[in-house]
Chains A and B, each alone.
Chain A
Amino acid sequence: MSVANAERTTAIEARGLTRRFGSLVAVDGVDLSVRKGSIFGLLGPNGSGKSTLIRMFCGLLRPSSGAPIVLGLDVRRRPVQVRRRIGYMSQRFSLYDELTGHENLTFFARAYGLPRRRLTRRLGEVVERTGLSGYETPRAGTLSGGWKQRLALACALVHDPDVLFLDEPTAGIDPVARRALWTLLFELIAEGKTLFVTTHYMDEAERCDHLAYVYLSKLLVNGTPSELKALPDVNPPDTRRVEARTNRIQEALRRLETHPGVLEATVFGESIRLLVDDATTNRGLLAFLPDDATLAAIRPSLEDVFVTMTQRASAAAATQEGAKR
């Protein structure tokens, strides 16, 4: 693909993006690129640098080195032009509690320089789009979590941005509100907007076109969900994944821990996901498990991917640390 083409199809790009706070490196040499009109999911444990990365793309934080590029513009050099075309929803609810939803929307619309005659129409559109009708009149502080998030999204959308940065948009809201918010996000994608989302929920990650995983300030992997699940690290040679279902989970887990062929065992509600070596047969496993257990072959889940990546990275970090001493 030619450079000019890349410019046209890439919405967000980072090249060697680094941010230090004193001796702490919060983001360490991150490279990534997000295609226009796609939804990009950024995952990683708390404190791994997700928010710092987003804040650099939004121009809230200057990178120590490297370039954050949004819509072909270097955020460091043209912050105002970038701000006009991006929306940002921060981790915790950050609108004005004592203003009503409508007043919050009006404020942000005017902050983005919407002319007054277009303002009323645009606010109507945004309220309609986010399903906020009837919820613009009470003070923002009195709304429940899900409605607060919708209002925050509406405020981030009020200037019709091309790119939206959402920092854990669904943290702390109920499943129904969560689903409603994601339906909305997909509608925005359908309109051609680009979304950059951080999350801790695997089901949300599963919905993204593209995923990246950051751990200890570094970007470990980057690809589509199916690409990540097919990574060799996640599917070590001569192993396979099986799921065991039983009503006696605790007993099953205790027994499996003593089985030499079981490399990983993780409980998921009523089932246990296992990584076993090829030498271990289903029959051999069933003999080990409670009577009611059943087995089924499974593909690695995203959670498997990230647990594996984290374990490998922290083991590597520990060796490095040991080598230094």
Chain B
Amino acid sequence: MIRGLGAVVYKELLQLRRDPASLGLALLIPVIQLVIFGFAIDTEVRDVPFIVVDSARVRESREFARAFEATGTFRLKGYFDSRDEALAQLRAGHAKAALLFPTDFASRLLRGEIARVQVLVDGSDQTVAAQAQAAALGVAQSFTRRTAPTVQARVRFLYNPDGRSENFFVPGLAGIILQLVTMTLTASAIVRERERGTFDQLMVTPVSRLAITLGKLFPPILLGAVAAALVLSVMVWVFDVPIRGSLGLLVALTTLFVFTSLALGLFISTIARSQLQALMLTLLILLPSVLLSGFMFPRDTMPSPIYELTWAIPATYFVEIMRGIVLRSASAEELRHMILPLAGIGVGLCALVALRFRKTVE
């Protein structure tokens, strides 16, 4: 028997029981994460939104679109009038694929010639792209078997024509890394001073709360900026992922995301009672950011409650924004539906931090 082992185990178990928050987190984290990720992570692609530009307007074109949806891989998002409108939808990330029926689709079918349908696929997500291609070819083939004349689907991959996985992963990864750096730096900012008793010494000086908050944010912001520059440089020069969109917009939105991550970190700092709790809460937020933000697995495929949940994760918006600007050269206007909620979350978190901060002091 190891001398005193029983005593140490006894004491450790008691301490664990006296720290219900940490205990709860320790038990809850694995259960929540397992349930959510178990349901959400599904490499089979389903319900990917697609759009249709139907210049033919005949029964056959509508049937083709319906058959495309019937594969289960795709979900019809709506009809648009022109190729340009369809491209804008793809750039903004509203849809991942578009079916384009030319005006002569019906007449060629009538004449018994080969009728062509063009399938535009957002190639930035490889899994989605491959499934889209398979579905389109499959539908065309079964169509050909039923109707005497041939329907040919021509699939074109947009944005990532070579199908490089770096193009898909690296922009998203850059966002995740930025969040990791800034959040972990701020999460223990206040709790560390409280644990060490330096907080009171700080609070008896005339330094204002705002000064403390901003002062504490300064190093993470600086490091966040350096990290962002490094990450983007590595993306461009090491992984050869060119930035197709506006660099200025990318920098501005990266700043917005860093700001939101810092606010999230500060929020943790105001609710955590110890540095250990701060670390666990950081993990609780970081894991969904990695697995549910669309960084690894397409969000469209996730079951509906979890899909709704992904809107609460700041990384979701930033992964979309990064891919939008870097790969699809999307404009601020086209990404508005991602930028506004991200800014909203950031401002909301700041308000929460300000509210919590007062309580933390006492």
Residues of A at the B interface (CB closer than 8 Å) are 55, 58-62, 80, 83-84, 86-88, 90, 92-97, 108, 111-113, 155
Contacts and interface: CB of A to CB of B under 8 A. Distances in A.
A108 B207 CA distance: 10
B131 to A, nearest CB: 54
Nearest to B197: A94
Interface in B324-362: 361-362
9 contacts: A55-B200, A58-B200, A58-B204, A60-B203, A60-B361, A61-B362, A83-B206, A88-B200, A97-B196
A95 B206 contact: no
A9 B258 CA distance: 54
Contact of A80 (B197, B200, B201, B206): B206
Contact of A112 (B198, B200, B205, B361): B205
B21 interface: no
Given A61-B362, A62-B362, A90 B197 contact: yes
Contacts of A155: 201
Contact of B201 (A59, A61, A62, A95): A95
Interface in B155-207: 196-198, 200-207
Nearest to A81: B206
Interface string B285-324: 0000000000000000000000000000000000000000
A84 B362 contact: no
A111 B211 CA distance: 10
Contact of A90 (B201, B205, B361): B201
A108 B200 contact: no
The 8 closest A-B pairs by CB, nearest first: A94-B197, A111-B205, A88-B204, A94-B201, A83-B206, A94-B198, A111-B207, A80-B206
A90 B361 CA distance: 16
Nearest to B203: A60
A100 B299 CA distance: 51
A138 B162 CA distance: 59
A158 to B, nearest CB: 10
Contacts of B206: 80, 83-84, 111-113
A58 B205 CA distance: 10
A96 B203 contact: no
Given A61-B362, A62-B362, A111 B200 contact: no
B200 A90 contact: yes
Given A61-B362, A62-B362, A83 B198 contact: no
Contacts of B207: 111
Contacts of B362: 60-62
B198 to A, nearest CB: 5
Contacts of A113: 206
A60 B204 contact: yes
A92 B197 contact: yes
Interface string B202-233: 11111100000000000000000000000000
A92 B362 CA distance: 18
A83 B196 contact: no
B197 A59 contact: no
A95 B362 CA distance: 19
Given A61-B362, A80-B206, A113-B206, A88 B201 contact: yes
Given A60-B204, A84-B206, A111-B205, 15 more contacts: A58-B200, A58-B204, A60-B200, A80-B206, A83-B205, A83-B206, A87-B204, A90-B197, A90-B200, A94-B200, A94-B201, A96-B198, A97-B196, A111-B202, A155-B201
A87 B361 CA distance: 19
Contacts of A111: 202, 205-207
Contacts of B204: 58-60, 83, 86-88
Contacts of B202: 111
Nearest to B202: A111
A80 B201 CA distance: 14
A65 B205 CA distance: 24
